[in-house]
Chain A
Amino acid sequence: MRTRRSALTALALVLLALVTAASAAPPKDAMVIGLLAEPVTMDPPQITDLNSTRVIKRMFEGLTAQELGSYKIVPGLAQSWDISKDGLTYTFKLRPNVKFHDGTALTAEAVRFCFERQMNDKGPYYATGTYPYVKGFLGNVAGVEVVDPLTVQIKLKAPLTPFLQYLAHHSLYIYSPEALKKFGKDIVKNPVGTGPFKLETWEPGVKVVLARNDQYWGGAPKIRQAIYVPIIEAQARLAAIKTGEIDLTMDVPPDSLAELRKDPNVVVAETNSSAVWYVTLNTRHPILKDRRVRQALNYAVNKEAIIRDILKDTAIVARGPMSPVYGPYYEERLQKYPHDLEKARALLKEAGYAGGFDLTFLVPESGSGMQSPVEMATVIQANLGQVGVRAKIQTMEWGAYLKKYLEAPDMAEMSWNPSIGDPDHMMYMLLSSDRFPPAFNAGFYQNDKVDDLLRKGRTTIDEKTRVPLYKEAQKLVVEDAPWIFVDHGKQVIIHRKRVQAFKLHPNFDLVLTQVWLQ
């Protein structure tokens, strides 16, 4: 009996300890962010995923930057720049007295070093990593020259308007050359940048702790620590934000949003994004090569129903490839494809397919930015069935899917959320005939006029001349209907009430410099 009683006492003590641990109040100047997964690496040129960029953008900066809340390019580590008349030479003046987190100074030589590491595959530090974007973003760079300690000149092979946007991409961020020399390949877990936060600890799988950089040139941030924890399961993220275990998170189950909006302890912040969700149609397919058929499929799909019933209003209808986030470049007066079964049937009849036809519909089980791919495919399949098009769904795991996607499927789901705020990065990337597979124009869409406009757009610097090019291209693309345009996903962030001054950024970044805690 005695042993039983002491066992009970011990149990009670353990429970008490657990409850005490549970009720520890969160610190007033540390903020916890629940990510979908932990960062993969902290070496800017090697990063390809959103979770990593959401963390490392707090520690590193590029020569240029995007203004918070828009895609407008503003000075970053370069305080000013000059572009030569022929559009080939970019001269950057660096901010003076900027220090990396290891105390070394930001110089023109450091900029040259960082670019050189990726570009020169015979260079001494090339083997310290692999650089997924080097050809895409630096392939057009002829050379980088140090003019004086705070002036760096970049020469291009051909004019390229989005280049200033490229410089704001994380793969061209500037890091401490001394750190790279010291850590070599292990630079992936030893980030040394110039940004408002620096790495304090990284416990793999557990948490990443960033500490405020009091020497930050733009003024130290208000919070002392930013703690990132990976929470893979959506229900677990929901539980953690509701109980206050974490201060900010994203991608909770859409069904829970209505309830969260009523919760007095949390704020649901949402905004349009540049993402687009679409179904690629193979324009070389014997039936789909007829534009009328592709238009008919666009009329047949009930996008409003998908957004309302599956996505719970976390998206807006896509009229074309570009979302309203692109500001002046967005063409509002696009031909619409409202849900119109009569029109769809008429177009199919006109094309000679009144009796319908069969297609294979490739669908991923899940995937980066893919929203609810299987449920959405089921609705699309039912919609197409109403006009006689028999789509056979074939689902696949994401990795296998990406391979199959580039092997000319009849129709296949895809989404794209460009990290670069230039229309080129949407239109040229996905719709130019220069970008047939293995690049991402997977439907082999080709319209010489569109190609021409998009190539011109890449080299036109003046915005006034440039805007009409993209507006015209959007009109042509929508008429040609190489995709079923479905939706532009909204960016939805949930944070606790105590988080103040948080502002969403169109490319899904989580900027913390201005944030403070109540």
Chain B
Amino acid sequence: VAAVGGGGLQGYVVQRLLLAVPVLVGVSILVFAVMHLSPGDPAAIMLGAQATREDIERLHRDLGLDRALPVQYGRWISRVLQGDLGRSIPLGREVLPEVLVRFKATLILTAGALAVALVIGVPAGIVSATRQYTWLDRLSMGVAVTGVSLPVFWTGIMLIIVFSLTLRWLPSAGMYSPYGGNLADLGWHLVLPAVTLGTASAAAIARMTRSAVLEIVRQDFVRSARAKGLGERAVVGRHVLKNALNPIVTVLGIQVGTLLGGAILTETVFSWPGLGSMMVRAIQARDYPLVQGGVLLIATTFVLVNLLVDLLYAVFDPRIRYE
């Protein structure tokens, strides 16, 4: 972690947050440019075959799409800075409350997936590191490689076919049943999407855990611990894992980003009412304000998660200081 001026932890956090501003401005320019320069016209998509020249022109005028791009960007970003993300083009709803509601659902899914990833990934990594080159190691790493390679939409559809269509154990779509809405109902609906989304991350975490643990296991203090007569469980649990945590936390931070991205496909497969499934539809409709608002929210989250990971380093490794 680079030292960035005085002021201790507080100053460090403030400076990191200030550094996030140019990042977010860059993101805003990039997403605006990509959306507006890619072919497609929200008015034409809305109107389809019934389009008349007059209606298209009137829509462009009413939506402000007839202005030059820099002017459109200027108008949008100046409103964003005042906390107004505008209104979605076909939805007619305000973007900010819309993306926040959806974001909540995405966070629930991401948390579920992260839990799946940790519960599978960390033990698998430890087992294959402590039993290096045994069949158990080969099996869990084989599964891990497969897990990383499976596309989310394929896993999702397979799980639907097996667990919803054939076995009828779990629902195939949505966050709540149409009639209900309690916590058990949510948990029941969360299983398949969380497993789908979490599998790939579990594999990544398992591999990182394995190499981190392997590196620590070879160090002198571990040998000393063993020489002291500590049981294997205590050695791994108390000494090895604690020291292997930093690389694992790093990969976790990256995984949060991957999960937020992967959520787009998972949410579409399972009709999960999150930001991802909404963004897919918004991109298809060239819903500029909604896509731009959604991307800004995801970028902000990613910046904050990265900061959090950097702060966690010091918790797990007291040698690290923020200046």
Contacts and interface: CB of A to CB of B under 8 A. Distances in A.
A500 interface: no
28 contacts: A21-B180, A21-B184, A22-B169, A30-B179, A37-B281, A48-B47, A48-B90, A133-B50, A185-B92, A230-B271, A231-B172, A233-B172, A233-B271, A235-B172, A236-B164, A236-B271, A240-B164, A245-B177, A246-B178, A397-B284, A398-B284, A399-B40, A399-B286, A403-B44, A406-B44, A419-B50, A438-B53, A440-B48
Nearest to A52: B90
B45 A402 contact: yes
B175 interface: yes
B51 A235 contact: no
Interface in A298-344: none
Interface stretch (A81-89, A174-182, A204-212, A263-271): A204-212
Nearest to B168: A243
A438 B277 contact: no
Interface in B106-144: none
A240 B173 contact: yes
Given A48-B46, A236-B173, A403-B41, 4 more contacts: A21-B184, A32-B178, A46-B90, A233-B160
Interface string A124-138: 000001111111100
A498 interface: no
A219 interface: no
B91 A41 contact: yes
B273 A204 contact: yes
A416 B52 contact: no
Contact of B176 (A14, A206, A232, A399): A206
Nearest to A403: B39
Interface in A1-50: 14, 17-18, 20-22, 24, 26-27, 30, 32, 34, 37, 40-41, 43, 46, 48-49
Interface of B: 38-41, 43-56, 58-59, 62-63, 87, 89-93, 98, 101-102, 105, 156-157, 160-161, 164-165, 168-180, 182, 184-185, 187-188, 191, 268-274, 277-278, 281, 283-286
Contacts of A261: none
A169 to B, nearest CB: 10
Contacts of A34: 173
A227 interface: yes
B59 A132 contact: yes
Nearest to B176: A206
B44 A402 contact: yes
Contact of A205 (B56, B89, B185, B273): B273
In the A-B complex, the 3 residue pairs with the smallest Cβ-Cβ separation, listed nearest first, are: A205-B273, A399-B40, A239-B172
Determine chain A's interface SS by DSSP, over half rule. mixed
Contacts, number: 207
B91 to A, nearest CB: 6
A34 B188 CA distance: 19
Given A130-B62, A229-B174, A231-B173, A236 B93 contact: no
A504 B184 CA distance: 37
B54 A438 contact: no
Contacts of A419: 50
A19 to B, nearest CB: 8
Interface residues of A, number: 71
A231 B54 CA distance: 35
A439 B47 CA distance: 10
Contact of B178 (A18, A229, A399): A229
A43 B180 CA distance: 27
Interface in A101-143: 121, 129-136, 139
B171 A232 contact: no
A185 B46 contact: no
Contacts of B178: 32, 207, 227, 229, 245-246
Contacts of A447: none
B105 to A, nearest CB: 7
B41 to A, nearest CB: 6
B39 A404 contact: yes
